Amino acid sequence: MKHVVVIGAGQAASAFAFKLRALGHKGAITLIGDEPALPYQRPPLSKAYLLGDMSRERLFLRPQSSYDEADITVRMGAAVTSIDPKTQQVYLGGEGIAYDELVLTTGSAPIRLPAQIGGDLQGVFCVRTLADIDAMAPYFIENRRVLIVGGGYIGLEAAAVAAKRGLHVTVVEMAERILQRVAAPQTSDYFRALHHSHGVTLREGVGLTQLNGDDHVTQAVLSTGETLDVDFVIAGIGIRPNTALAEAAGVKIKNGISTDAFGATSDPHIWAAGDCASFPIGDTRVRLESVPNAIDQAEIIAQNIMGAGIVYHAKPWFWSDQYDVKLQIAGLNTGYDTVVTRVGDKPHSVSHWYYCGETLLAVDAMNAPRDYMIGKRLIEAGKSPASDVITNPDTVLKSLLS
Residue 338 CB, nearest distance to ligand FAD (Å)?
26
Q: Which stretch binds ligand FAD (CB under 6 A): 20-28, 64-72, 104-112, 204-212?
A: 104-112
33/119 with CB nearer ligand FAD:
33
Query: Minimal CA–CA distance to 7: which of 26, 35, 42?
Result: 35
With beta carbons less than 8 A apart as the criterion, state whether 346 and 337 touch.
no
With beta carbons less than 8 A apart as the criterion, state whether 233 and 147 touch.
yes
82/359 with CB nearer ligand FAD:
82
With beta carbons less than 8 A apart as the criterion, state whether 202 and 178 touch.
yes
79/308 with CB nearer ligand FAD:
79
102/154 with CB nearer ligand FAD:
154
- Spatial distance between the Cα atoms of 138 and 135, rounded to a whole number of angstroms: 7
128/177 with CB nearer ligand FAD:
128
Residue 47 CB, nearest distance to ligand FAD (Å)?
7
Give the orientation angle of helix 185-197 with respect to helix 153-164, to 10 degrees: 20
Find the binding residues for ligand FAD in span 285-344 (CB under 6 A).
289-292, 294, 318-320
Site string for ligand FAD, 33-72 (x = CB under 6 A): xxx------xx-xx--------------------------
C-alpha dihedral, 351 to 51 to 146 to 137, nearest 10°: -150
Q: Give Cα separations from 271 to 23, 34, 178, 211, 258 (angstroms).
A: 17, 19, 35, 41, 9
Residue 19 CB, nearest distance to ligand FAD (Å)?
13
19/128 with CB nearer ligand FAD:
128
Helix (H) or strand (E) holding 391: helix 387-391
46/187 with CB nearer ligand FAD:
46
Task: Reduce the DSSP state of residue 212 to 3 states and report it.
Answer: strand
DSSP letters spanning 78-132: ----EEETTTTEEEETTEEEE-SEEEE---EEEPPPPGGGTTTSBTEEESSSHHH
Find the binding residues for ligand FAD in span 109-148 (CB under 6 A).
127-128
Under the criterion CB under 6 A, does residue 274 sit at the interface with ligand FAD? yes
Residue 156 CB, nearest distance to ligand FAD (Å)?
11
Strand-pair partners of 284: 281
234/374 with CB nearer ligand FAD:
234
Residue 33 CB, nearest distance to ligand FAD (Å)?
5
Under the criterion CB under 6 A, does residue 242 sit at the interface with ligand FAD? yes
3-class DSSP string for 227-250: EEECCEEEECCCEEECCHHHHHCC
172/298 with CB nearer ligand FAD:
298
CA 306 centroid distance within chain = 28
Among 4, 11, 200, 304, binds ligand FAD (CB under 6 A): 11
CA 20 centroid distance within chain = 24
- Spatial distance between the Cα atoms of 319 and 302, rounded to a whole number of angstroms: 26
Query: Minimal CA–CA distance to 339: which of 349, 359, 319, 354?
Result: 354
Site string for ligand FAD, 193-212 (x = CB under 6 A): --------------------
Among 53, 69, 79, 313, binds ligand FAD (CB under 6 A): 79
Residue 291 corresponds to which amino acid? Answer: V
Q: How many residues bind ligand FAD (CB under 6 A)?
A: 36
Among 83, 99, 103, 107, binds ligand FAD (CB under 6 A): 107
Residues that bind ligand FAD (CB under 6 A): 7-13, 32-35, 42-43, 45-46, 79-80, 105-107, 127-128, 154, 242, 245, 274-276, 289-292, 294, 318-320
